[in-house]
Structure 1
Amino acid sequence: MKIDISTSSPIQLPRLSVRALPRSLPPVANETIGSFVARLAFVNHINCRDLIRVLAPTCRSQLRAPEKIVRLHLLAGATGIKSTHLAYALPEIRGQLLDQGVSGLKGMTIAGHPNRIHPACRLCMGAKNVVGRVSVWRRPDQNICLRHGIWIGRDVTTPADQFCVNDLPEMLQAQRRHGKLISRYGHRAVNYHYGHAHNIVDVSSRLPSPTKRWSRMLYFFEREKVERLPRSYSSAAMYPEAVALTNILISPYWRHSAVHGSPIEQDKFFRHIQLKDLTNGPPNLDRSLWGWIREHQPQPWRHTGQQFLDLRTHLRSPVAE
């Protein structure tokens, strides 16, 4: 008997299913798939690689990248949790839910650049009775856990790098101010200018100097009573100045004064930064700050009126749009 392939309907392969694990646990918001699978294997006393083989039966050779091969419906069957709930909590497999036509994901944290993988707040995990290390995707503006006053942002690679900043009110105020900037200007613009501001403050005050950053560093050394501190302390010490400088760089008024203004207006821009004490030394001699100004000045190869459009088109938003 011959079958006409051109007219016959495509073969429907059976949908694979798995038996539910003896013990399930809910994922943490924005948790990495690798972290969730590892915790799931730990509480069920099975090997993590064996569990990945079950959740990704067609890709046995890519066990080092579970976020690319774990199937959402198999993970739902193994945990007993609805696919929708898992996809909303795990950014790396959320795309499998989009293939099913599910909407309502606007504003949710995405997996990949510009977001980074950091340990979840240790106090939040302790309050939820979560055992083991939890890694989450965190946006560039998420640096302090306001619920517990813990630094969880840049240069935090292990839970031991997290530390309390409740005794520094300007740190908590900077985190709230960072959020207000995003509400006003959007994620793309704030992330772009915050990256420049962070670099300007870092280069300016990297070495010991009479700056607010090093005043906080001395306070941290005295408080912790140690000779060496993790790098996360240095990043946190300059966070208020980085956010304050971001507020200036993103302002249309100050940006116009620095980029297109007259020498008098440009001098007013530098004096404003010096008055805020955001850099070490005269701001008009700061090479990093001048680099930001030159990047925004009209270039011969750019079309008129497209000076800032390029910044919005080639940068990736940290949230789904």
Structure 2
Amino acid sequence: MVSRLPITTRPAQHEIAVSYLARLAALHDLPTDELWRQVNHTRRLDPDLLAVVADQPRARLNRAIVELLDPEPDWRALRHEPQRGCHRCNARHPGGPVLQLLAHHDYVCTRHRIWIGPPDHTDHPQPHLDALPEIVTAQHRHRRLLHRLGPAATYDAVLTGFLICAHRWNTTHTTRDSDATYHWRRRAELLIPPGTETTTFSASRIFAAVYPEAVTLAELLGSLHWRRLAAGGPGDQAVFAAEIGRRLGDPDYIPLVVQDPIAHWMEHDCWRPPSPPNTTYRALKTFAGPTHPKPAHNADTRRHDNATWFTRHRRGGDTLLHHRTLNPIIIRDWSPRMELFAGALTNTATTRTHQPPRPRSGPEQRAYLTAAWTRPEPVASPWLDTATEPLSWHERTEPRPAPAARPYLPHERPRVGRR
């Protein structure tokens, strides 16, 4: 027996069922578990019961609640982690925080000029972008790129753009105001003012600092034309490198053997199909159940540690590289298996061919770090020869291999650091 609730409220667009039930329970001062028992059937959400209890038309719920969307969406185009959307858009939905399943390309609310970012701490304030209009412009460009290339290529290309920016932020030292790193530092000072790191720092704001350049790079990395140049002979590679250097504000850029994620992408990834997400919300055991994926139990501790480290050098590359958002392109299906996650990160910025001998002296070290990378012949790629835009999702013929790479354990840090 179910009873209709006296206070009605509509679900937000793409709100997860648990979030909607929690808001209804809060409005009626009920335990969420009690409300869940009224709307589930065989331990899964029953849409007809929910429509009766919430006093909402079934068609409205089917358009809004993620688990009830009919027809089902392309789950790979949506994040697998629910998160807060724009707090101003959701202000009309009372009862508590609204958790939504947003698309991979949703980083900015362009209506209210608010950064949404990738999944982050649910209680962290969302920054306004009035002083950073280029981030809002980048969101518009991101959507145009999605329309042209499709969700598969856009997803892979933007994440790869973030990866390249992260590595360069860690290793590039320049005061040239045309270089991308200058703009990352400038935006970081606005988003995370010096001296306020303990309260304003978040990984999401670091993503915001590099977002315009990540989209700029994605326009190349996702394009079949530029992919074919990157996979071509030395002349084509030089054209690609010159263009990517121009977009990064580094006119002298050449691909390097080590500490260069662009060279790694040209050698290993440009001629392969875009990497899909590791999983989808539909594939999770919690789908249509009473719970949803939660942040790691040590998320607050990690945020504090990252804020402390960022305070010392004001570089956000490490935060980006260690964020779960980039995992699908750090450990790709064809990546070599690594014992530790640090090895997987190092692998994304190194090449395997034409490497000079390991350095033993100062001059050898400089030569090693500045050795140029090039592929003498075009790479043979049947996929790249026949691919057309927009690219479709890469269909795995077997389950994704379990990654061997893992983060450091506490007792391993000193031992590894002494090597």
TM over 0.5: yes
> Structure 2 vs 1, CA of residues 111 and 273 (structure 1 numbering), >3 Å: closer, same or farther?
closer
Report the 3-state secondary structure (helix = DSSP H, G, I; strand = E; otherwise coil) of the residue aligned with 2:383.
coil
* Amino acid in structure 2 at the alignment position of 1:147: R
Take 2:249 and 2:17, find their aligned partners in 1: how far apart are those partners? 39
Mapped pair 1:53 → 2:37: yes
Take 1:115 and 1:214, find their aligned partners in 2: how far apart are those partners? 30
Mapped pair 1:192 → 2:156: yes
> Quick one: which of 49, 55, 66 aligns to 1:74?
49
Report the 3-state secondary structure (helix = DSSP H, G, I; strand = E; otherwise coil) of the residue aligned with 1:140.
coil
Mapped pair 1:125 → 2:100: no
Take 1:141 and 1:279, find their aligned partners in 2: how far apart are those partners? 27
8 Å contact from structure 1 (residues 115, 139) kept in 2:
no
The Cα of 1:86 is off from its aligned counterpart by 0.4
> Structure 2 vs 1, CA of residues 256 and 133 (structure 1 numbering), >3 Å: closer, same or farther?
same
The equivalent residue for 2:197 is 227
> Structure 2 vs 1, CA of residues 34 and 112 (structure 1 numbering), >3 Å: closer, same or farther?
farther
Report the 3-state secondary structure (helix = DSSP H, G, I; strand = E; otherwise coil) of the residue aligned with 1:34.
helix
> Quick one: which of 242, 246, 253 aligns to 2:214?
242
Take 1:221 and 1:165, find their aligned partners in 2: how far apart are those partners? 13
* Amino acid in structure 1 at the alignment position of 2:248: D
Once structures 1 and 2 are overlaid, which stretch shifts more, 44-53 or 197-206? Answer: 197-206
Identity of aligned residues (%): 25
The equivalent residue for 2:409 is none
The equivalent residue for 1:305 is 382
Report the 3-state secondary structure (helix = DSSP H, G, I; strand = E; otherwise coil) of the residue aligned with 2:382.
coil
8 Å contact from structure 1 (residues 30, 109) kept in 2:
no
The Cα of 1:304 is off from its aligned counterpart by 5.9
Residue deviations 1:216-265 (CA, integer Å, cap 9, x gap): 1123344x8613422221110000010000001122332221112x2122
Mapped pair 1:91 → 2:66: yes
* Amino acid in structure 1 at the alignment position of 2:17: I
* Amino acid in structure 2 at the alignment position of 1:292: W
The equivalent residue for 2:269 is 295
8 Å contact from structure 2 (residues 78, 104) kept in 1:
no
Question: Which has the higher relative contact order, 1 or 2, with Cα contacts under 8 A spaced 6 or more apart?
Answer: 2
Mapped pair 1:164 → 2:128: yes
Please report the TM-score for the alignment, with normalisation by the length of structure 1: 0.76
Report the 3-state secondary structure (helix = DSSP H, G, I; strand = E; otherwise coil) of the residue aligned with 1:164.
coil
> Structure 2 vs 1, CA of residues 297 and 120 (structure 1 numbering), >3 Å: closer, same or farther?
closer
Mapped pair 1:271 → 2:236: no
The Cα of 1:134 is off from its aligned counterpart by 0.7
The equivalent residue for 2:143 is 179
Q: What RMSD over aligned residues (CA atoms) do the two structures have, in Å?
A: 3.1
> Structure 2 vs 1, CA of residues 314 and 279 (structure 1 numbering), >3 Å: closer, same or farther?
farther
> Structure 2 vs 1, CA of residues 279 and 234 (structure 1 numbering), >3 Å: closer, same or farther?
farther
> Structure 2 vs 1, CA of residues 152 and 54 (structure 1 numbering), >3 Å: closer, same or farther?
same
Please report the TM-score for the alignment, with normalisation by the length of structure 2: 0.59
Which structure would you say has the larger Rg? 1
The equivalent residue for 1:66 is none
Take 2:65 and 2:272, find their aligned partners in 1: how far apart are those partners? 42
The Cα of 1:152 is off from its aligned counterpart by 0.4
The Cα of 1:183 is off from its aligned counterpart by 1.1
* Amino acid in structure 2 at the alignment position of 1:250: G
8 Å contact from structure 2 (residues 118, 204) kept in 1:
yes
Residue deviations 1:195-216 (CA, integer Å, cap 9, x gap): 2222121222146854121221
Take 2:165 and 2:251, find their aligned partners in 1: how far apart are those partners? 8
> Structure 2 vs 1, CA of residues 206 and 170 (structure 1 numbering), >3 Å: closer, same or farther?
same
* Amino acid in structure 1 at the alignment position of 2:222: I
Take 1:150 and 1:258, find their aligned partners in 2: how far apart are those partners? 35
The equivalent residue for 1:7 is none
Take 1:189 and 1:207, find their aligned partners in 2: how far apart are those partners? 27
8 Å contact from structure 2 (residues 149, 223) kept in 1:
no
Take 2:127 and 2:272, find their aligned partners in 1: how far apart are those partners? 43
> Structure 2 vs 1, CA of residues 112 and 197 (structure 1 numbering), >3 Å: closer, same or farther?
closer
The equivalent residue for 1:116 is 81
Residue deviations 1:86-120 (CA, integer Å, cap 9, x gap): 021011133xxx5xxxxxx47x5748964431112
8 Å contact from structure 2 (residues 19, 98) kept in 1:
yes
The equivalent residue for 1:39 is 23
Take 1:291 and 1:118, find their aligned partners in 2: how far apart are those partners? 32
Unaligned ranges ≥5, structure 1: 1-16, 60-68, 99-104, 316-321
Report the count of equivalent residues: 276
8 Å contact from structure 1 (residues 162, 232) kept in 2:
no
> Structure 2 vs 1, CA of residues 274 and 208 (structure 1 numbering), >3 Å: closer, same or farther?
closer
8 Å contact from structure 2 (residues 192, 205) kept in 1:
no
8 Å contact from structure 1 (residues 122, 159) kept in 2:
no
